[in-house]
Each structure stands twice: as C-alpha cells, then as structure tokens.
Amino acid sequence: MKAIVLAAGYATRLRPLTDTWAKELLPVGGRPIIDWIIDAVTDAGIVDEIHVVTNSHKVDAFARWAVGRDVIVHDDGTTSNEHRLGAIGDLLFVIEHAQLDDDLLVIAGDNLFEFSLVDFAAFWRTKGTASAVAVRDVGSLELASRYGIVALADDGRVLDFEEKPADPPSTLAATATYLFHREHARLIRGYLDGEHGADQPGRFVGWLQRREPVYGWLFDDTWYDIGNHEQLLEADNRLRAAAGLSARESYSPD
C-alpha cells in the first residue's frame, strides 16, 4: 500500500497567512500540520511509501521540509488557485507520475485526527475488493453542511453520499481520509474523463459508491479539518495543551 497526502491546494480562506506559508506547513502544537499526519501514517506501519503532492508555488518549502524525511514530494506544476488540478486531479497526477498500481491510503494535508489508521485499515481489509472512508458524527446539521454526508447500511456500506448539502439528511460526515482498493484507484482516470469534477475527493467517493462497494468506518476520536482561522486556532491550542504549551488567543506561526 502507498500513502498519498494531498497538499496542493491554495488555502484561500486562510489568507493572508497562506500568501507566505503553505497551509500544511503551518505549525500547530509547535510542529507543522503535515508532521502529525506523517507520524500517524509512519507509526501505523501499513504503507511502504509516502507521497506528498503540492504545487509549484509551495514546492520549495516542501522540499526543505522533506529533507531527512522518508517522503517523496511531487510538484503538480500549477501556480495559482485558478489553474489548480483539484484534489482528484492531483491524486491521478501522483498515480501516473509515480506509476503506482497499489492500494492507496489518501489523506488531505489539512486533516488532523487521533483515530487509529491501523484500526481503519483492519476494518477495510475485512471487506474484500472495496474502498473505505473514515466517518464521524459531527453532531450538528450546520457543521454537516460543510462536509460530505453519508448514509450507511448496517454493515457499514455507503448507501448515499452527498457533498456539502444545503439541507443535510444527517450529521454523519466523511473525513478526507480514504482507503482505495487498487482496482478502484484504476477508475480515477475514467471518472475525470467523464468530467465529473476534479476538486473535492468526496465527489469521487460519491461516484464510486454507486458502482462499487465503499464502506464507512465510524470513529469518535478528535478530528480537525483545518479550513479557516478559527479551526486553525482551535487545533493549535489543543495540541499546544497536549505538549504543555500555553494557549493563545490568536494564531501565529511564530
């Protein structure tokens, strides 16, 4: 299995911070966001390569970060938000650029989580030729409208997937952490050729679950999707507290 960390977005909601910083390299709890993800993947011991995809605007910063780390950094060649490949486009870019034909663990580079990737993978392995998504009950319909919302069968199979619904049918949110069977990863090119949209990996999951088995793995551990300044500050203070650091009233990368 290979891991792909998606870090090629332009994080416009975090400007002006992200005019000079790659969002995934912003420190939370005293360490870059992506460090926490790489540690979780490495400690799980379920992959034999970790790929990080970024863009030309951020690649130099990622190259400096990657020194001494067992990761492979890919530059998707884009230089602006208007010309981005999108998360699914970046996923295909890495697959083709690195010539991958493997099961894939795919994680968005702005997702911080405390659940066990070992447990997630163990659940997925019981399902045969299938893919899986980590799912959490966010407990609020207002919050649910910001995420992909899933409906699950009793055995966990995804019955429906709706990306950012205006009127959410439930509060079961898909996080940007996925396990794709290699046979399903091979379908990404066909999905994109069908012009279904290259951004938001959940859109591929919604398309896939109508054709192939996809399962939702429920967890209730802490999870942060760092999309705005408030979420960034909240995640920073939680991890600062765990590291014995004092809380801050406003976020600073210093």
Q: Tens digits of per-residue pLDDT, 44-88?
A: 999 999 999 999 999 999 999 999 999 999 999 998 877 888 899
Stated pTM of the model: 0.92
Segment among 130-139, 206-215, 217-226 with least mean pLDDT: 217-226
Amino acid 99: pLDDT: 96
Beta strands in the chain (DSSP E): 2-6, 27-28, 31-32, 49-54, 72-75, 104-108, 111-113, 131-137, 148-152, 158-163, 172-180, 214-218, 223-225
Closest-CA residue to 219 (of 124, 105, 110) = 124
Phi/psi at 250 (nearest 5 deg)? -140, 150
Amino acid 50: pLDDT: 98
pLDDT beyond 80 at 127: yes
pLDDT beyond 80 at 227: no
User: Please, which pLDDT band fits residue 40 given cuts at 50, 70 and 90?
Assistant: very high
Average pLDDT of the segment spanning 137-153: 87
Beta bridge partners of 225: 111
Amino acid 158: pLDDT: 95
Closest-CA residue to 114 (of 248, 242, 215, 252) = 242
Amino acid 82: pLDDT: 79
Amino acid 145: pLDDT: 83
User: Please, which pLDDT band fits residue 1 given cuts at 50, 70 and 90?
Assistant: very high
- Nearest-angstrom CA–CA distance, 198 and 180: 17
- Are 253 and 26 spatial neighbours (Cβ–Cβ below 8 Å)? yes
| Most confidently predicted of 10-14, 66-70, 138-142, 225-229 | 66-70
Q: To which H or E segment does residue 11 belong?
A: none
- Nearest-angstrom CA–CA distance, 61 and 65: 6
Average model confidence (pLDDT) across the chain: 91
Q: What's the alpha-carbon Rg for the chain, to the nearest Å?
A: 17
Set out the domains of the chain in order of their start, with CATH numbers: 2-129+176-194+221-242 (3.90.550.10)
User: Please, which pLDDT band fits residue 182 given cuts at 50, 70 and 90?
Assistant: very high
